[in-house]
Amino acid sequence: MPQEQSTHAEQHVVIIGAGITGLSCAHALLTTAPHLRVTLLESQPTTGGVIRTSPFAGLPHVDEAADAFLLRVPFAAQLAQDVGLSNQLTSPESGHASVWRNGLHRLPNGLLLGVPTQLSALATSRLISPVGKLRAAFDLALPRTPVASDSIGAYMRRRFGNEVHNMLIDPLVGSIYAADTDNFSLEMVPQLHTLASSGRSVLLTSRRTPKPAANVAASPIFGAPLNGMGALVTATQHAVETLGATIRLNSHVASIEPVSQEGKYSVHFLANGISETLMANHVVVCSPAKHSTGFFAESAPQVSQLFAQSEHASVVMVALAVPKASLPQKASGSGYLVPKPEQRFITAVSFASQKWAHLNTTDSAILRVSLGRDAMPLHEHADEELTSFVLADIKRHLLVDLEPTAIRITRWKESFPQYRPHHVAHVEHLERHLSEKMPRVHLAGASFRGIGVPSCIQQGAAVAQRIISSIS
Ligand SMILES: Cc1cc2nc3c(=O)[nH]c(=O)nc-3n(C[C@H](O)[C@H](O)[C@H](O)COP(=O)(O)OP(=O)(O)OC[C@H]3O[C@@H](n4cnc5c(N)ncnc54)[C@H](O)[C@@H]3O)c2cc1C
């Protein structure tokens, strides 16, 4: 086909969605193949998607959603370095987090995403009852548990019992994915999946793997730009524009259609209300699956139906500023999680100004409070109700009546893709159908192969690499 013999200069890649996935895809494309023509179409007036940083309570940069990225994998730190932020990165001050169960209990040492790896550390924790600890030790003796159901809850409850699952594993994993771990794919949480599939007993298997607590002091687990996660978006946007990409904001994509004979695609979108079309050799869909079903309604209805099966959870992030002196001493460390049996509204509280030195520069303590999760949507409540939920829950948890001097409420509707059991098979099925109908339309981003910022960056870069390989 003619386009297969084309040079980079003639190739146009259209990326839908200028969240961190779309931006990192553009960055990877243009750093390796600078002669490509790259256009990003973004429906919103700004880039960044669910990453947003804004001024709050006298501080110039307080995140409204993600506030850090994992350093265990290199992708986010590498992008930060590539876009000139390497000397502007920081890591959390205070590592220890707690779980609220009739009071705050420090998380025991040696957890891997809430999964115990040392019975000795669990034994000294007052978070888990003696019966719960005994049940957790069954893991050493139980026969192998199949992973075929692909549910974190089904697997971990069998290994460690309900109490350890409800008080440790579900809150930790649930806080990352806004998830109900009984209805969430084990395979999509690779650290847990590897642990579960590599041996009979989780505890014995984890003895053979490095302990998470061992090297915390030497190398931090999380990193973030000093000016908030928005700085990563801004710097990446600047880099891709400098490399020659065009970013079209307020451009809402409606459909993608193959152009017969030419091996190209027409991408139809509304730019500030006016219909436009771009022709592309490759299209990268980096918008959330559920919001992209219309793209294929005419051209690949089966793909459209598979997209429509995606589910998302909604959350609300509430930032509070309170006088430092009003926080009780027990409110130490980086914050606390509220396990489902104890949840009313709040799922987690981050003591942001204790966690981050750069947020600890005023007389106010900054709290970032998460509300809602899968099967507990709260985003439709009015601001006053959400505020009263937060203050009532904090009173219950910390036994204090907080009087905030500033409050900021951000609703993140349908922002967390929920990876149901067998999600990987679902995505593979989806990609097979798509590649039969439209082989140069690619998928990347939080809906597909991982939600964390590093994983989104990795997906964007991997698709870029595939495109470059196919045209060189
Ligand atoms: C509250 C919250 C806290 C989080 N905390 C962390 C954290 O601490 N660490 C971490 O690693 N991760 C965190 N995450 C997850 C991570 O931030 C996201 O998974 C990631 O940023 C998603 O990036 P993305 O580009 O794939 O998707 P998005 O950010 O959703 O970007 C998709 C873009 O597509 C655009 N779009 C949608 N439809 C169309 C259309 N029809 N036409 C054109 N454009 C369209 C959207 O406007 C959006 O800009 C958090 C997420 C949330 C919501």
Ligand 1: atom nearest CA of 453 is 11
- The whole-angstrom separation of Cα 277 and Cα 272 is 13
pLDDT at residue 219, as a whole number: 79
> Where does the chain hold its CATH 3.90.660.20 domain(s)?
53-69+90-95+312-417
Closest Cα to residue 179, out of 450, 424, 416? 416
Kindly state if the Cβ of 288 falls inside 6 Å of ligand 1. yes
State the distance from the centre of ligand 1 to the C-alpha of 41, rounded, in angstroms.
15
* Most ligand 1 atoms within 8 A of CB, residue of 453, 455, 458, 459 to mutate: 453
How far is residue 452's CA from residue 308's CA, in Å, rounded to a whole number?
22
Reported pTM: 0.96
Ligand 1 in contact with 42 (CB < 6 A)?
A: yes
Q: Which fold has domain 2-50+227-310+420-471?
A: FAD/NAD(P)-binding domain (3.50.50)
Do 445 and 462 meet the contact criterion of CB atoms below 8 Å apart?
no
Q: Ligand 1 centre and the CA of 177: distance in Å? A: 13
Q: Provide the residue type at 27 as one letter.
A: H
Q: Is 216 helix (H, G, I), strand (E, B) or coil?
A: coil
Per-residue model confidence as pLDDT tens digits over 304-352: 999 999 999 999 999 999 999 999 999 999 999 999 999 999 999 999 9
- Separation CA 92–CA 354 (nearest Å): 8
Q: 93: Cβ–Cβ under 8 A, 6 or more apart, which residues?
A: 354, 355, 356, 357, 360
Q: What is the pLDDT of residue 208?
A: 83
In short, whether 51's Cβ falls inside 6 Å of ligand 1 is yes
What is the 51 CA–ligand 1 centroid distance (Å)? Answer: 6
pLDDT of 399 above 50: yes
Determine the pLDDT at residue 2: 39
Check residue 210 and give its pLDDT. Answer: 64
Q: Rounded to the nearest whole angstrom, what is the distance from the C-alpha of residue 24 to the centroid of ligand 1?
A: 12
Structure tokens given for 377:
């949507």
Confidence of residue 128 (pLDDT cuts 50, 70, 90): very high
Residue to mutate, 50, 232, 409, ligand 1, most ligand atoms under 8 Å from C-beta: 50
Q: Does the domain spanning 106-207 belong to CATH 3.10.180.10?
A: no
Residues forming CATH 3.50.50.60 domain(s) in the chain: 2-50+227-310+420-471
Task: Give the pLDDT confidence of 253-280 residue by residue, as tens digits.
Answer: 999 999 987 789 999 999 988 999 999 9
Protein residue with least CA distance to atom 12, ligand 1: 452
Domain limits, CATH 1.10.3110.10, in the chain: 106-207
Cβ(393) to ligand 1 under 6 A?
Answer: no
15 lines ligand 1 (CB under 6 A): no
- Is the beta carbon of 21 within 6 A of some atom in ligand 1? yes
CATH 3.90.660.20 correct for 53-69+90-95+312-417? yes
Ligand 1: centre distance to CA 451 (Å): 8
| Ligand 1 close to Cβ of residue 315 (< 6 A) | yes
Ligand 1 mean position to 385 CA, how many Å?
26
